[in-house]
Amino acid sequence: MKALTVERPGTVRLLDVPIPTCGPDEVLIRVQASGVCGTDVHIYRGEYLGEYPIVPGHESAGVVEAVGPEVSEFRPGDEVAFEPNISCGYCRACLEHRENFCRRWRGIGVTVPGSMAEYVVAPQRNVFSTAGFAAEIACFMEPLSCVLHGIERARVRLGDRVLILGAGPIGLLLLQTARLRGISSATVLERNESRLDLAGRMGADRLVRDFDGLDTDSYDLVIDATGSIPVLERAIEYVRYGGTILFFGVAPSGERMRIEPFLIFRKGLTIVSSYTSLRNSFQAIALLRTGAVNVTRLISHRLPLDEFERGVELIERGGEDVGKVVILPHE
Ligand SMILES: [Zn+2]
Ligand SMILES: [Zn+2]
């Protein structure tokens, strides 16, 4: 099979490798669609936890090709997606239902071969049925799961006035899911005109290109979906007294921001983060299946496997027409 391999940061090769075999409780999936995520970009650039060489890709969907002898829930031909985080089930974090912080964590597409290949293997308990909807929609199960975890962490309440910073694919998923929670207004800040436009069509009430003109101390919840330090530094000004800030966007590892701790105290702020997901896949699938969350409009590019690097460059450049880039390994 063809497998796109990041040999070391910045160096990618399309290799011919044997189709992996599945262990007793594993599922072999023929990958139909694999979204390029910011994490893949970080792995490509050497800015993440990845071990090299690695086949990236962790947001994907496909069809079951084969199953191990102990797999009871899936059969060849089933349409599925998988959670990339493999937890051990018996460390303290796992036993306290914080599997996303498993001490023996492994990540498909991060530490074990991922889905930027024609086939990928996942443990049965990471696999979910996505029967009845297209793979390019089902491959959003993973990013949507992370977004749902963030929405849970932020404790979004009925009637909240929400400010969302950034309207890339993740910002737009945060917007849609916050709306489903019954917020009263959504303001979206984004420099890119076409993304801002899309935010308007996906339920934002107010669209702004920068902070000028926004009222300070006025949002119950500010959600950052940029990971940009200069943006994060300003979030505190706009959240109301007693409000919440959700740090969702991934800031560059090792970078620092300047904040005035007195303001956090004086405003009684709650600052929360969100790390991957915590078994939110069934919720994500239900929302994708009914179309309650629309992802089709987020996809801007569908590329074959050998154009992965072009996909990364498109995301990094972040031009007007770039949304979600999806790789179709069998095209
Ligand atoms: Zn991702
Ligand atoms: Zn564990």
Residue 126 Cα to ligand 2 middle (Å): 14
CB 34 within 8 A of CB 116: yes
- Superfamily holding 146-273: NAD(P)-binding Rossmann-like Domain (3.40.50.720)
CB 246 within 8 A of CB 232: no
The predicted structure's pLDDT at residue 50: 66
Residue 264 Cα to ligand 1 middle (Å): 30
Phi, psi of 281 (to 5 degrees): -70, -40
- Locate CATH 3.40.50.720 in the chain: 146-273
Residue 207: which of 220, 221, 193 has the closest Cα?
193
- Locate CATH 3.90.180.10 in the chain: 2-140+295-328
| CATH number of the 2-140+295-328 domain | 3.90.180.10
In eight-state DSSP terms, residue 105 is -
Tokens 């940009």 — which residue? 228
**SS3 state at 39:** helix
**Which of the residues in the chain have pLDDT under 70?**
49-50
Residue 277 Cα to ligand 2 middle (Å): 14
Residue 85 Cα to ligand 1 middle (Å): 11
Separation CA 331–CA 137 (nearest Å): 17
Q: Cα–Cα distances in Å, from 131 out to 128, 154, 218, 317?
A: 9, 31, 43, 35
String of b and e for 60-87 (b: at least 16 CB within 10 Å)? bbbebbbbbeebeebeeebbbbbbbbbb
CB 116 within 8 A of CB 234: no
